[in-house]
Amino acid sequence: MHFTPKTFEDKLISKYRSQVEGNMFLEVPIGNDKDIWPKGSKTRRVDCIRVLNNSKDIYRYNDLEIFKDCIKDKHIELIEAKKRLNRLVIGQVIVGIDMFIKQYKNKNVKGVILCEVGDPGLEIVCKERDIDVIII
């Protein structure tokens, strides 16, 4: 897919993509599988899931079966992008990882935060939780 970044988050993801390999899936839903989540659960979207492989394709999430096949038994990154590193984005990554593992049955998940502005104290917290902070 041809990817033209439009949002600030898309632009950070695009810059990160130029530095790494791997298939990237944008706006991956979690919390939407009615067989797993209780009634009233809201669908949330992860900014990006990166499959660690030798490819560099980028996709908008739109086919569950293709996505499941691509992530099966692979190491992946769950990526959230924000202008500034803050507690909100750290929470999004922590919750995102837990929900992703439960919904997609893949335990090889590494949290990554892409941001333009860091915060030394919060970077320590992320390091202790094994969340990579990449300042772009």
- Does 4 score more than 80 pLDDT? yes
Residue 60: pLDDT band by 50, 70, 90 thresholds?
confident
**Mean confidence (pLDDT) of the chain:** 94
The string of DSSP codes covering 82-120 is: EEE--HHHHHHHHHHHHHHHHHH----EEEEEEEEE--H
Question: Across residues 44-59, what is the average pLDDT?
Answer: 92
* pLDDT at position 74: 95
Which DSSP letter does residue 38 get? P
Whole-angstrom distance between the N-terminal and C-terminal Cα of the chain?
A: 24
Q: Where does the pLDDT of residue 1 fall: very low under 50, low under 70, confident under 90, or very high at 90 and above? A: low
pLDDT tens sequence across 68-98: 999 999 999 999 999 999 999 999 999 999 9
